[in-house]
Amino acid sequence: MAGRAHIPTKSAALIAMIADEDTVTGFLLAGVGNVDLRRKTNYLIVDSKTTVKAIEDAFKEFTTKEDIAIVLISQYVANMIRFLVDSYNKPVPAILEIPSKDHPYDPAHDSVLSRVKYLFSSESVASGRR
């Protein structure tokens, strides 16, 4: 169908991660990790030494790769590159902000939740309901 986003097949779709070491380790133990032939991983471990540029580069790389269907990013990391996360508008890969052990989830900063609220508020205004 024209206009629909192409989602990779089940055998090729990956989940990418940008998060702290504990979060990434948990997902790696669950089987999310992947290393391609060029020794590139589908995750970035963010610590105090990780630069914002490195996070931006990983986000751009993961959102442009054909074989990634979902990018999980810790919300506190997403706040560091909020301008990139908020400006991303493609359906695939989906960007999901997750909490981390040291940083609780704040729905006020979640870009997906704010978009959903916006869609429902404009729908209710357009249909005459409030």
Shortest CA distance to 68 belongs to which of 93, 32, 35, 43?
Answer: 93
Could you tell me the two tokens for 35?
Answer: 């290393």
CA atoms of 130 and 29, how far apart (whole Å): 46
What does CATH list as the number for 14-125?
Answer: 3.40.50.10580
pTM of the model: 0.76
Q: Tell me: the pLDDT tens digits for 18-34?
A: 999 999 999 999 998 88
CA atoms of 73 and 59, how far apart (whole Å): 9
Kindly tell me the burial class for residue 121, based on how many C-beta atoms sit within 10 Å of its own C-beta (0-12, 13-18, 19 or more).
exposed
As a dihedral over the C-alpha atoms of residue 41, residue 43, residue 44, residue 46, rounded to 10 degrees, the angle is -150
Of 35-39, 47-51, 76-80, 82-86, the one with minimum mean pLDDT is: 35-39
pLDDT-derived band at 51, boundaries 50, 70, 90: very high
> What is the model's pLDDT at position 122?
60
Could you tell me the two tokens for 51?
Answer: 């630069």
Q: What is the mean pLDDT of residues 45-66?
A: 95
Question: Pick the residue with more confidence: 121 or 41?
Answer: 41
In the chain, where are the structural domains located?
A: 14-125
> What is the model's pLDDT at position 101?
83
pLDDT-derived band at 129, boundaries 50, 70, 90: very low
Asked if 45 and 21 count as a contact pair (C-beta separation under 8 A), the reply is yes
Cα 101 to Cα 23, 59, 87, 129: the distances in Å are: 8, 21, 26, 40
Q: What is the mean pLDDT of residues 44-61?
A: 96
